[in-house]
Structure 1
Amino acid sequence: MDEPLKVWFLAPEVAPFAKTGGLADVAGSLPSAIRRLGIDVRVGLPFYRTVKEANFSIKRVLQGLEVPLGDKTLPCDVLETRTSEGILVYFFDREDFFDRADLYGDQDGDYPDNLERFAYFSRAALVFAKESGFCFDVVHCHDWQTGLIPVYLKTICRSDPFFSQAASVFTIHNVGYQGLFPADSLSACGLPPSEFHPEGVEYWGKISLLKAGIAYANAITAVSPRYSREIQTSEFGMGMDGILGNRSVDLYGILNGVDYSAWDPATDKHISVHYSVGNMKGKGACKAALVREMGLDECILDRPLLAVISRLTVQKGYDLLLDVAEDVIGMDAGLVILAAGEKKYQQALDALAQEHHGRMAVRIGFDDPLAHRIMAGSDMLLVPSRYEPCGLTQIYALKYGTVPIVRATGGLDDTICQFDPKSGEGTGFKFTEYDATAFLHQIKAALNAYHDRRTWRKVVRNGMNADFSWEESAREYVSLYQQIAGKGASHG
């Protein structure tokens, strides 16, 4: 019997251990789906303070692993746990790099030594694989923090027989995060000056770890089919469209899945009453509970309640939201927003909420249980993103019978089908042009559907019956692993 394919799955954050965004959800759930397809997958991430302080059952399995970094050799401790699905997860511990309040930076910005921190993690993961005898066929890397791993495999590890067959996949979760560092830091991550060139790690006179991953990996993936096409254009490529276009034959769009064990109104531990597509009574109870919790007027119980759950950034379309908020409230609807991010948007939203007290409520900060209650208690979810690699909230919304109104970009376009009242087909409402008029037009279309009970039941049911679990996407990843396994440093 053939040995199973071995995959070393390396990410800067993995749920439930460490999380700042959707990348952690992907890295926390995709390996389980891959394992169910017969792959020997093991996961690695840094041992952050957030992991150390949580109550996970983790044991130290190796002390003093020697990790070469530039002209130094730094020791590393390795810890291990096993998930409920039986997947081994390894943590790479060096206190001066990872024992910090946050993962990538603080209120003053990114940590200035992020290049050294993630170069160290990347080298440590490769050294540990060799030390422990885990002869992986494919290393699956995620975002700029792991962008040096494909480089190392094709440079300093190239002559080592242990790594000679190892191939790499590099997944872009957001091309806007590019891992930019000064050119003179190259030696700090152990790379020779010969790698600093336009086809290598050089990007407009700086080092880009995102570009490094794109340039050196055997295969590149983006987190939705539409996004994989968009990032090859100047509008969405954020300056990386040239190299992505050059590597288009190796670039694949594979849609993110979701973990329904965490997001399902039939079992959700954060909501007051459970419900399902076969029994929707609980959704009304969830709406009543949310209206009370957010201090909205009771009249909202009989009116449409629209929600926003996202980061407060220009990417998420807050300029459009601010443009249409008063119109939405003027159409006899309620509006509830859970968000954290840029102060200028916080202040604008707070001012609107005060002006429209009882009709609009805003909560600033990341509150996962509240996100679940808003998802269950709202009628519609607004996602007017300027760009969206994949997006998960709109997929969660479908499951909760909360109809998405989205901009047709990236994964939003791939996951939401425009509702057609005549045929009764579709799962939400989409607008294409990035402007308030187009956005408002689709909000009005959704409100019209809401006021026709039969039509609304149809669009809600369509969404709740949609399936975005990981199985299909995992099959696509495994097919890609099989395609590149054994190609190693000599290809791509």
Structure 2
Amino acid sequence: MDQSVHRYPSPDGLRVLLASSEAHPLIKTGGLADVAGSLPLALRELGQDARLILPAYPRAARQLREPRTLCEIKVPGARTGVRILGGSLPDHDLPVYLVDAPEHFAREGNPYTDLSGRDWGDNAERFLLFSRVVAQLAQGLPALGWRPEVLHTNDWQTGLAPALLQGVPGRPATVFTIHNLAYQGLFDRATFDRIGLPGSLWGMVGLEFHQRLSFIKGGIVFSDRVNTVSPTYAEEVRTPAHGCGLDGLLRQIGTRFSGILNGIDYRDWDPAIDPLILQPYDQGNFGLKAENKLDLQREFGLTRNEGAFLLGYVGRLVEQKGMDLILGILPGLLRDPDVQCVIQASGERSLELAIQTLAAAHPRQVGVSFGYDETRAHRIEA
């Protein structure tokens, strides 16, 4: 037996299928992947039969442990059969299903954008197909010998699955989590007509949002329960200032909507045991943390200075994350030679150029890495 794999007792509790467009460590662009990779593990430790489904991106398929083809199904919108691959996470015995539709998902790199950073032009078709497969699996596929009692969908990429299950006899209970309300999966009416959704789903009580197709609205309207990543955020998105146009709907669904504070998986992020950082430390030897600062300064070519005030940012380059505010204040902070900043991010090209300009003007104070690197993210956090 591989001792590096975390194994748990066979669960016999509630059968839960968690659907996500990304999950750590298979593929990750942000916090959704952390939750999707950790939550089903935590549920299994509590005795629940939690399983994960996501698209078979090449990077995810390469990392799947003990992969095998479970079945092939016909899905509207796919010119060929769609295979369901089964396996486990690389270092945990969490069952994972991958939706293998090469025409839609066999693309290297970011799950949502091309190399220029633009959304894939067929994202509506891609994630409708994913939602269709999730909805089929939620009703039970004979080849799998397993049928969930709860379907947990996440963000707009899975928002159509609860809508497709509406009115289906014996469907599982449905939960939809909003990780970021600003990303809604919005497409024009022509896209709705083209991709073959039932006409009954159009309208104010369906997927229509100001004459556009809204994937995220499908999850909000048609799920039994809707939640988001904290009680505070749940209150914020019910206001016009932060509701991205959906505040009225979120108020309307009342007690079906709540906020549950995101946790953190200490197996991955505890600096006392984190294998990805140079120098482990805890509250008893906090001074050792400085070794990680010196290592990061070396990696990014910054002035090596244990006493420097080193700021770090890991995330997306979009205004919604506050990067415009950071760029507004950094030039003033950098007048102090003991202030440094390390940024690992990707996103809007204009913000990338602004950061590159700032780094070029302060090469010994500002370090930049575009893209996402899990190891580097841990080193910046440490």
Answer yes or no: same fold by TM over 0.5: yes
Give the secondary-structure state (helix, strand or coil) at the position aligned to 2:40: helix
Q: Which moved more, 1:24-33 or 1:331-340?
A: 331-340
2:235 is equivalent to residue 226 of structure 1: no
Q: Read off the aligned partner of 1:81 and give its amino acid letter.
A: G
Equivalent residue, structure 2, for 1:96? 103
Equivalent residue, structure 2, for 1:470? none
2:371 is equivalent to residue 365 of structure 1: yes
2:54 is equivalent to residue 45 of structure 1: yes
Larger radius of gyration: 1
Q: CA deviation at 1:295?
A: 2.2
Aligned pair count reads 365
2:247 is equivalent to residue 238 of structure 1: no
Instruction: For residues 316-361 of structure 1, give each alpha carbon's deviation from its aligned partner in whole angstroms, at most 9, with x where no partner exists.
Output: 2222222221332234532222222223223322333333342333
Equivalent residue, structure 2, for 1:397? none
Between the aligned partners of 2:194 and 2:331, the Cα distance in structure 1 is 52
Within a 5 Å distance, the mapping from 1:19-34 to structure 2 comes to 19-34=28-43
Q: 1:270 to 1:218 in 2, by over 3 A?
A: same
Within a 5 Å distance, the mapping from 1:227-376 to structure 2 comes to 227-298=233-304, 300-338=305-343, 339-376=345-382
- Retained in 1: the 8 A contact 2:12–2:48? no
Within a 5 Å distance, the mapping from 1:67-78 to structure 2 comes to 67=75, 69=76, 74-78=80-84
Equivalent residue, structure 2, for 1:130? 141
Give the secondary-structure state (helix, strand or coil) at the position aligned to 2:293: helix
Q: CA deviation at 1:281?
A: 3.4
Runs of at least 5 residues in structure 2 that lack an aligned partner in the other structure? 1-10
Between the aligned partners of 2:237 and 2:178, the Cα distance in structure 1 is 10
Q: 1:36 to 1:348 in 2, by over 3 A?
A: same
Between the aligned partners of 1:165 and 1:96, the Cα distance in structure 2 is 29
RMSD of aligned residue pairs (Cα, Å):
2.2
- Retained in 1: the 8 A contact 2:308–2:340? no
Between the aligned partners of 1:361 and 1:245, the Cα distance in structure 2 is 43
Between the aligned partners of 1:12 and 1:81, the Cα distance in structure 2 is 17
- Retained in 2: the 8 A contact 1:306–1:333? no
Between the aligned partners of 1:285 and 1:180, the Cα distance in structure 2 is 46
Between the aligned partners of 2:289 and 2:278, the Cα distance in structure 1 is 9
Equivalent residue, structure 2, for 1:203? 209
Between the aligned partners of 2:352 and 2:251, the Cα distance in structure 1 is 37
- Retained in 2: the 8 A contact 1:201–1:212? yes
Between the aligned partners of 1:12 and 1:133, the Cα distance in structure 2 is 24
- Retained in 2: the 8 A contact 1:60–1:77? no
Q: 1:118 to 1:335 in 2, by over 3 A?
A: same
Q: 1:353 to 1:62 in 2, by over 3 A?
A: closer
Q: CA deviation at 1:3?
A: 6.1
Instruction: For residues 151-200 of structure 1, give each alpha carbon's deviation from its aligned partner in whole angstroms, at most 9, with x where no partner exists.
Output: 11114xx2x4xxx2521101101111111123244355553212211011
Instruction: For residues 248-271 of structure 1, give each alpha carbon's deviation from its aligned partner in whole angstroms, at most 9, with x where no partner exists.
Output: 210010111112222122222222
For normalisation by structure 2, the TM-score amounts to 0.88
Instruction: For residues 362-396 of structure 1, give each alpha carbon's deviation from its aligned partner in whole angstroms, at most 9, with x where no partner exists.
Output: 333323322222222xxxxxxxxxxxxxxxxxxxx
For normalisation by structure 1, the TM-score amounts to 0.69
2:210 is equivalent to residue 194 of structure 1: no
Equivalent residue, structure 1, for 2:174? 168
Between the aligned partners of 1:184 and 1:362, the Cα distance in structure 2 is 40
Between the aligned partners of 1:112 and 1:362, the Cα distance in structure 2 is 29
Between the aligned partners of 1:254 and 1:355, the Cα distance in structure 2 is 42
Q: Read off the aligned partner of 2:321 and give its amino acid letter.
A: K
Instruction: For residues 83-131 of structure 1, give each alpha carbon's deviation from its aligned partner in whole angstroms, at most 9, with x where no partner exists.
Output: 4443211111111111112312212622222222222222223323333
Between the aligned partners of 1:235 and 1:124, the Cα distance in structure 2 is 35
Instruction: For residues 403-424 of structure 1, give each alpha carbon's deviation from its aligned partner in whole angstroms, at most 9, with x where no partner exists.
Output: xxxxxxxxxxxxxxxxxxxxxx
Between the aligned partners of 1:363 and 1:149, the Cα distance in structure 2 is 36
Q: CA deviation at 1:246?
A: 0.7
Between the aligned partners of 2:158 and 2:12, the Cα distance in structure 1 is 27
Q: 1:360 to 1:99 in 2, by over 3 A?
A: closer
Q: Read off the aligned partner of 1:179 and give its amino acid letter.
A: G
Instruction: For residues 41-89 of structure 1, give each alpha carbon's deviation from its aligned partner in whole angstroms, at most 9, with x where no partner exists.
Output: 111111112223x34324223343222x26x785211111124443211
Q: CA deviation at 1:235?
A: 0.7
Give the secondary-structure state (helix, strand or coil) at the position aligned to 1:305: strand
Equivalent residue, structure 1, for 2:7? none
Between the aligned partners of 2:63 and 2:44, the Cα distance in structure 1 is 25
From 108, 111, 119, give the equivalent of 2:128: 119
Q: Read off the aligned partner of 1:333 and give its amino acid letter.
A: D
Q: CA deviation at 1:212?
A: 1.0
- Retained in 2: the 8 A contact 1:116–1:188? no
Of Structure 1 and Structure 2, the greater helix share is in 1
Give the secondary-structure state (helix, strand or coil) at the position aligned to 1:130: coil
Within a 5 Å distance, the mapping from 1:46-61 to structure 2 comes to 46-52=55-61, 54-61=62-69
- Retained in 2: the 8 A contact 1:81–1:89? yes
- Retained in 1: the 8 A contact 2:68–2:87? no
2:40 is equivalent to residue 36 of structure 1: no
Q: CA deviation at 1:136?
A: 1.8
- Retained in 2: the 8 A contact 1:291–1:301? no
Q: 1:239 to 1:280 in 2, by over 3 A?
A: same
Q: 1:365 to 1:85 in 2, by over 3 A?
A: closer
Equivalent residue, structure 1, for 2:160? 148
- Retained in 1: the 8 A contact 2:16–2:152? yes
Between the aligned partners of 2:246 and 2:149, the Cα distance in structure 1 is 28
Q: 1:187 to 1:130 in 2, by over 3 A?
A: farther
Of the two structures, which has the highest relative contact order with CA contacts closer than 8 Å and spacing of 6 or more? 1
- Retained in 2: the 8 A contact 1:13–1:27? yes
